């Protein structure tokens, strides 16, 4: 397996700290008798990892798109995509992809991708604020790195890269999104986030980039671990 060559922004993984008086702690000790209020948020991005999906276009070039609706079931990663985007268009007929996980230090590269689309002409749903860009890697300032098991490239700067194949692609109940079940074929990790001599990612070193109500965050200090954890301590 090739070694990832991340950029210097990786230092955010090992230097990220949070004040011990974090607002989450304050919330935990707040008056628990206070009643909740009914609200109607415009979105429900309540804090999930950002991923960059690389897929293959019809002409053999490659698209790169950010998204935050992703979660894992063992070796399957479930993705939620808008039906009109280039990524959804690609996966319907070319199921290979790479699920690249950036760290907090890559948030600006992610945001450079956010207003771009690989669809031309720009779909009606993206007419407001989006523009077509053919070279997504270049626009984001990211470097493609050849994959080993699929055609789309990995993002060299991302500390975790999952080569995968879409095993199922189907519309959701509203028809506005696609639900993709991606079977992970291989995992590449920067050696600095791996527990030496093991196959484990070190959760004390690795921090995903979190999309929290359209704001970017990293992780704070560890609070504890599950009884199911097998990571050497």
Q: For residue 50, give the CATH number of its domain.
A: 2.30.110.10
Residue 19 included in any domain: no
Segment 94-142, tens digit of pLDDT: 999 999 999 999 999 999 999 999 999 998 888 888 999 999 999 999 9
| pLDDT 10s digits, 136-195 | 999 999 999 999 999 999 999 999 999 999 999 999 999 999 999 999 999 999 999 999
| pLDDT of 198 | 97
Residue 233 lies in a domain: no
Whether 72 is covered by a domain: the verdict is yes
Q: What percent of the chain has pLDDT over 90?
A: 73
Please indicate, yes or no, if residue 171 is contained in any of the structural domains.
yes
- C-alpha–C-alpha distance, residues 146 and 156, integer Å: 9
pLDDT for position 29:
54
Number of structural domains, the chain?
A: 1
| Residue numbers of the domain that contains 72 | 43-217
Q: What's the pLDDT band for 202 if we cut at 50, 70, 90?
A: very high
- Domain membership of residue 5 (yes or no) is no
Determine, yes or no, domain membership for 61.
yes
In this predicted structure, what is the pLDDT of residue 45? Answer: 86
Dist CA 54 CA 162 (whole Å): 10
- Res 19: pLDDT: 43
28 in a structural domain: no
Residue 17 lies in a domain: no
What's the rounded Cα separation, in Å, for the pair 16 and 112? 22
């Amino acid at each position: 397996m090739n070694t990832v060559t991340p950029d210097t922004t990786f230092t955010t993984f090992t230097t990220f700290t949070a004040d011990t008086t974090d607002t989450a702690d304050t919330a935990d000790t707040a008056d628990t008798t206070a009643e909740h209020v009914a609200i109607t948020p415009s979105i429900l991005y309540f804090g999930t990892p950002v991923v960059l999906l690389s897929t293959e276009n019809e002409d053999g070039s490659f698209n790169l798109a950010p998204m935050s609706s992703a979660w894992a079931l063992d070796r399957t990663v479930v993705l939620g995509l808008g039906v009109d985007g280039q990524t959804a268009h690609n996966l319907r007929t070319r199921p290979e992809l790479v699920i690249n996980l950036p760290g907090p230090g890559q948030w600006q590269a992610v945001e450079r991708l956010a207003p771009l689309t690989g669809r031309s002409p720009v779909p009606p749903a993206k007419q407001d604020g989006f523009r077509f860009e053919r070279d997504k890697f270049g626009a984001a300032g990211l470097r493609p790195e050849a994959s080993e098991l699929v055609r789309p490239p990995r993002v060299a700067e991302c500390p975790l890269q999952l080569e995968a194949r879409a095993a199922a692609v189907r519309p959701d109940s509203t028809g506005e999104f696609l639900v993709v079940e991606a079977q992970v074929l291989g995992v590449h990790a920067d050696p600095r986030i791996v527990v030496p001599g093991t196959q484990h990612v070190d959760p004390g070193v690795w921090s995903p980039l979190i999309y929290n109500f359209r704001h970017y965050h990293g992780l704070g200090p560890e609070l504890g671990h599950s009884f199911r954890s097998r990571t050497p301590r």
